Every structure is written in C-alpha cells, then in structure tokens.
C-alpha cells in the first residue's frame, strides 16, 4: 500500500492534484481535494465550519498559486463536513448530484446548531452529538450555500486539460454520493464511500450500492485513492474492506438471524418472531444477496 503521511494539511499527490487531510479522520474530521491545471482549479468538498475551511483555503493559496480563486467546487455528498464551508467559495460553480442537492436542503446547518444549543433539553442523542462534534465545530455562523449545477448519473468536465469524471455511486453512504475520478491521472477522490481506518456510516444504504461503488473503483486504473476520512491510500485500501474470505461460506442469509441476535444482545426488547426472520431471509435471497451454493439460481431470481 502507498505510504502517505497522515498529517494535517495539504499533500501533493502528483499531476497537479492535492489532498487536504484532517487527522484523526473521526466524526466531522473530513478530507478535501484540489485539482489544478494552468489557471484552472477544482476543489473537492469544503470542511465542517468556516474557520477550518478558511484555514484550508489559505493553505491551498499559499502553496498553489492557481488556487487563489476557486472556480469550481464539487460536493461529494450532502453531509455538513463536506459542504458547510461552501459559502467561502461563493462565486464558484458548485456541482453535485441532484440527490445530494435535494438532501442538502433537508439538513441545513441551523439544525445541527440547534441540536447542540438545546442539547440539555433534547437528551442523550443531542448530548452525544455535542461531545463528538459540537464541541469542536461552529455552525451558528454558516450560511448554507447550495449547488449551482446538478446532474443525475455522470458528468464529465475539464479542469484545464485534465479530464474529470463525476460518477454518481449513491445512494449508499448518503442518497447522492459521487466519485471524482481522473482517468488519465489515475486518481480518485471517493468522498465518504471510503473511510480509511474508521467504521463506515450508512446514513442511506443499500449496502449493495456501496459494494458496487468499491467494485467500480477497483475496476478503474487508479494509483491514488483519497478517502473522505482517514489517510490517503491506493486500491488495496478499497479492497481491504472486502468480505471475500467469507464469500464461499454457505447459507449467507443467516446474517439476518445473527444481526437480530446481536440486537437482542445489545438490549433491544422488541423481538421479531421467527417466521418474520424467515421472511426476511427469503427477501435476502430474492434480492440476490445470497451466495446460492445450495440452490439453482433460477429458483430465486434476482430482483434488480
């Protein structure tokens, strides 16, 4: 695996591309990217608040003259740790998927600011959110700045002479996740479709789409992978979350029973009856998630 340092700040990943990293990559500590070519530039994501985003933009401008004025911003998905700094590049074209633009409207910064402000009335969830994020980030001065251009499945753009492919891969982490792929430079910015060294968060699902997104990346010619959180990696960082070692085990639908067992273990008192679990296992097969060692494929067609 490529050996990139996981330190705060701007990292030159070659070919006029940069990654801006924020260790430790936990809740809200997201990465961003910069692509330059001649006088043209493209920023991949902003950060969780104005102070952090300004600090990042200043660092980029100091190191890369062509980043003086950001022309294009791509938001990889709707979460605030990738969008709340958008107002600092106002005037730039802001591109994302239609699904992400819609989802952004549902989760403005005022919601998070209010949850943190009223945490003592709101209980454990809001207090946990404060402990994990509210303590470190400031949201009460964020003016939400929406995308100015959206697309549905794929958009090919250019940054100077560089080809940049924006490919929708959600719903997975969120409803509208996209990948930023530079085929000629063999670089991909994954947004939160990759958390290196951290547990992924499934806000939207389905997981099958997430696996598809990983397979898409693994199918591309890629040398450098910049995740949404955590250290820079390469394709081995994408492949290592594969469950391949267990792929040959039969009766994979038993995961339904096992997840239910774990929920009981964690204290959930509502217990689905066993026939409901069998029905869920049936749907698991119908959705094509089983490995089908024991049944001929035609007996449970894949539902797409």
Nearer to Zn ion, 86 or 252 (CB): 86
Selected binder of Zn ion within 37, 45, 49, 81 (CB under 5 A): 81
By the rule CB under 5 A, 30 interacts with Zn ion = yes
Q: Give the whole-angstrom CA distance, residue 285 versus residue 155.
A: 34
Q: Residue 297, SS3?
A: helix
Part of the chain binding Zn ion (CB under 5 A), chosen from 15-23, 48-56, 188-196, 232-240: 188-196
Q: By C-beta, is 16 or 230 nearer to Zn ion? A: 230
Distance CA 134, CA 119 (A): 10
* Closest distance to Zn ion from the beta carbon of 174 (Å): 6
Looking at 102-110, 152-160, 192-200, 246-254, which segment touches Zn ion (CB under 5 A)?
192-200
Among residue numbers 207 through 266, which ones bind Zn ion (CB under 5 A)? 228
How many whole angstroms separate alpha carbon 261 and alpha carbon 238? 29
Q: Cα(129)–Cα(119) distance, rounded to whole angstroms?
A: 9
79 vs 96, which CB is nearer to Zn ion?
Answer: 79
Nearer to Zn ion, 49 or 81 (CB): 81
Contact window for Zn ion (CB under 5 A) among 26-34, 60-68, 87-95, 140-148 = 26-34
- In angstroms, what is the minimal distance from the CB of 288 to Zn ion? 27
Q: Which of residues 32-61 bind Zn ion (CB under 5 A)?
A: none
Q: How far is the CB of 45 from Zn ion (least distance, A)?
A: 8
For residue 158, the cross-strand partners are 163
Nearer to Zn ion, 22 or 252 (CB): 22
Q: Transcribe 142-192 into DSSP letters.
A: ------SEEESSEEEEEETTEEEEEEE--SSSSTT-EEEEETTTTEEEEEE
Round to whole Å and give the CA distance between 5 and 285. 43
Could you count the other beta carbons within 10 Å of the beta carbon of residue 293? Answer: 10
Shortest Cβ 95–Zn ion spacing (Å): 17
C-alpha pair distances (Å), 158 with each of 42, 45, 77, 100, 153 = 9, 17, 20, 21, 17
Cα separation values, 108 from 243, 257, 273, 286, Å: 36, 37, 39, 37
Helix (H, G, I), strand (E, B) or coil at 299: helix
Q: Are 32 and 10 in contact (CB under 8 A)?
A: no
- For residue 47, the minimal CB distance to Zn ion (Å) is 10
Which of these ranges, 28-36, 163-171, 182-190, 295-303, lies near Zn ion under the rule CB under 5 A? Answer: 28-36
Sole window of 23-31, 67-75, 92-100, 117-125 interacting with Zn ion (rule: CB under 5 A): 23-31
Least Cβ distance, residue 248 to Zn ion (angstroms): 32
Q: Report in angstroms how near the CB of residue 265 gets to Zn ion at its nearest.
A: 28
CB 176 within 8 A of CB 170: yes
- Residue of the chain from 192, 225, 253, 290 that contacts Zn ion (CB under 5 A): 192
Size of the site for Zn ion (CB under 5 A): 5
Q: Which residues of the chain form contacts with Zn ion (CB under 5 A)?
A: 30, 79, 81, 192, 228
């Amino acid at each position: 695996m490529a050996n990139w340092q996981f330190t705060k700040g701007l990292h030159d990943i070659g070919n006029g591309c940069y990654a801006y990293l924020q260790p430790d990559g936990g809740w809200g500590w997201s990465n961003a990217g910069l692509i330059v070519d001649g006088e043209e530039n493209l920023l991949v994501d902003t950060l969780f608040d104005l102070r952090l985003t300004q600090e990042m933009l200043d660092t980029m401008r100091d190191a890369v003259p062509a980043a003086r004025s950001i022309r294009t911003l791509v938001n990889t998905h709707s979460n605030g740790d990738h969008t709340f700094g958008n107002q600092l590049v106002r005037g730039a074209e802001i591109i994302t998927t239609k699904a992400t633009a819609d989802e952004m409207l549902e989760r403005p910064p005022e919601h998070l600011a209010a949850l943190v402000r009223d945490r003592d009335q709101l209980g454990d969830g809001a207090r946990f959110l404060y402990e994990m994020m509210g303590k470190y980030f400031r949201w009460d001065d964020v003016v939400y700045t929406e995308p100015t251009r959206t697309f549905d499945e794929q958009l090919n753009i250019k940054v100077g002479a560089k080809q940049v492919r924006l490919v929708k891969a959600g719903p997975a982490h969120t409803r509208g996740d996209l990948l930023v792929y530079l085929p000629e430079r063999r670089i991909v910015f994954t947004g939160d479709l990759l958390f290196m060294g951290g547990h992924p968060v499934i806000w939207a699902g389905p997981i099958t789409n997430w696996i598809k997104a990983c397979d898409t990346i693994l199918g591309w010619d890629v040398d450098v992978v910049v995740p949404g959180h955590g250290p820079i990696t390469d394709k081995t960082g994408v492949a290592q979350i594969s469950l391949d070692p267990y792929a040959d085990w039969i009766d994979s639908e038993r995961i339904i029973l096992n997840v239910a067992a774990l929920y009981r273990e964690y204290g959930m008192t509502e217990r689905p009856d066993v026939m409901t679990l069998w029905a869920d296992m049936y749907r698991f097969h119908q959705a094509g998630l089983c490995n089908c060692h024991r049944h001929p494929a035609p007996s449970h067609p894949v539902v797409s």
